[in-house]
Chain A
Amino acid sequence: MNYYIRRVVSAIFTLFVIATLTFFMMRAIPGGPFTRERSLPAEIEAALQAQYNLDAPLLEQYAEYMIDLVQFDLGPSFSLKGFTVNQIIAAGFPITALIGFIAVILIVLIGIPIGIISALKQNKPIDYAVMIFATLGVTIPSFIIATLFLYFFGVKLAWVPLLFNEDNFVTYIGPVLALTGYSVSFVARLTRSSMLEVLQQDYIRTARANGISEFKVLSKHALKNALIPVVTYIGPMVAAIMTGSFVVENVFAIPGIGKRFVEGVTNRDYTLIVGVTVFYAAFYIIMVLIVDILYSFIDPRIKLGKRRAD
């Protein structure tokens, strides 16, 4: 119980720090929206004024900002006039989440089994093949995969329509491919090396010595231990997918948060940029929290802490 409470408190604290950090970054970094060096068009200045109450003392602004934040009010967008950041995020979230979700499922369902097979057939041809593909997947950036895919399958072969269509299943292939390329390869490699390491362990030998069937040794004794580092990776994986979505949505013209974010960057829509950053950061922290809780179920050593001596 102690463990869980600690983790939740830690998460909240981190969120708080990030929100604060972001706020002060906006003010501290030269060239940011609030510095006097910047001359903004009148209406943006007015929106900023409304949102951040620029004339008030710093702390008061900070307090207002935090209060707004806690109420999930991220302010008005600069570039898309008339819309709030909340609305923009809410509009884009479903599709981004959907594609991200599909990506995660695929990564787990493909990456882990491949890693296991590769470990079991170490140094045989299939292992080499998998390792080569996995290395390529990890090193070739997602935007290259994305554009290559569109070029070959969209332009040259014309198998895939060039514009994303929510209802057309085929248009999901490219984005998902580009989004998962890195992570599925990473998971495969991680599972493989983890499995290999676990299989060297003494307790595997003990299980075999006690007559446990080879199948059980692998699927029960080895697997549970081997998956521990993989579960730990889920956090970074979510991060990779999040940031990957910026590029992928841009290249494939998918109307998700990522695309809006990149547009926001181009247009210097500060509230949008900050809002999405804080939103994504919060999302990430919650994901990591969930993973940590999940992790405690798999590895009992974590929550029980130090062992009690005889």
Chain B
Amino acid sequence: MSEPKSLVLVTVDCLRADHTGFMGYTQPTTPFLDQLAAESMVFPKAIAAGAPTYYSFPGILAARFPLALGREVVGIAPGEPTLATVLQQAGYRTAAYVAANPYLSNRFGYAQGFEVFRDFLSEELPYAGEAIPRVRTRLNQRIAELAHKVSVLGRLYDDLYFEYCQKMTASKSESWDSLRRFPAADFLVDQACDWLGSLGRQPFFLWLHFMDPHAPYYPPAEALKAMGSERILPERGRYLNAAWNRADLGVERLRKYRDEIVRLHDSGIRWVDTQLARLVEVLRNLSLWDSSVLVLTADHGEEFLDHGGRFHAPSQPYQEMLHVPLLMRVPGVKKVALSDAPFSHVHLAPTALEAIGIEPPQEFEGHSYWAEAQRGGDWELAVSESIGGCTNPMDAGKRMGARVLVAQDRRHKLVLDFDREQEELFDLESDPREVRALRPEEEKLARARLLRWALQHLHRPTRGFNRELALRARVREVGLEWKNSEMYSKTLAS
């Protein structure tokens, strides 16, 4: 192996593959990354190991399937090998700047292996956040109850009350920056550049996780302008986000907000792209660029009513959620066209490690496809999994729900939802948007092949190593779950 290179891992929250220019999007979200893609390995079909964030990241950083340690465990187990721990042990300097995503915090084990880990969850930041009072008076509650006895009146009441709340909480002095709930990409890149500037010639691992395309969608004004969406003003942005978040609206009524919401989301992507250009410029100026591998991907995508949903629910494992961009820029390596078969995120860490000259640990579930990537070789299929009903992993009860298991090869995709007792098989060639599940009698061979693969996934042996990691993680969670536990209630009641 040649001399170790440094590694920059960029993960973007909620970035679906088809919203990047280098994957065919027609909006100018990623002009810089499109240029970079021209000299990078671009994986045509990178697939998240799970969604959302808490089911995706064990695949990215620890090269294992999200439920491999049992559904009791969320995050990285204490002592589990990750990109960061492996590289720290190899003598790398390590730092992570994570844009205030609570599921990527130290409490879920993500700080392991990083000498600098900033998640910005409890710090003073140059953004204010937003607090909208949502308390209804007793009179209002009574009117709501009466109105909802007649469905048309209930709907009218909800609309009027929503408009009333928007008017009452609107402020003329609102700006995009004051509305934003997490640090924007420029803030993270500033921090990362300061750290890069402090390094000597030691190889380093830098992980940046951006939240700019994540809801609520409040991009910087500069990004909106770059996207030609500057006519959307902050007060409209706030209204749109509030409306998009309404639980009482059906798909048809939400549809009227969709285009503007997508514009806000896309502007968030554009801001990440702009800041990555700046990061690379700094790497060049520090003479680090020619010895650095840059990997860019997303933890999962985002739904804009594609299958009737919004945001990124674990019960919606369609391609807008699982198909993510993945590019790997490796200096000195000739660009080749990569296989268009699904490439699972669980193979990303070992492949990236081999690309920088570090041997991946045996404990990883995924394995390196570095050799195949260099010669344009093939890989076969991808499995993704999550707990469909787990929208809040802090709630231990929800974590124990039924699995949603997805197996896909180049052409077919099987979705097994054990909660809804539903099985869907799609032909992605003739139906890339997954609009029509095949009838049970269609494509029996493909169905059986993917069912077998799903079974093999569930039958893979639980290693002693995994059992120990699971136990360590559960010991950690005894403390975390204290307030939600049944025993806690019993303890207080006794």
Q: Do A and B come from one complex?
A: no
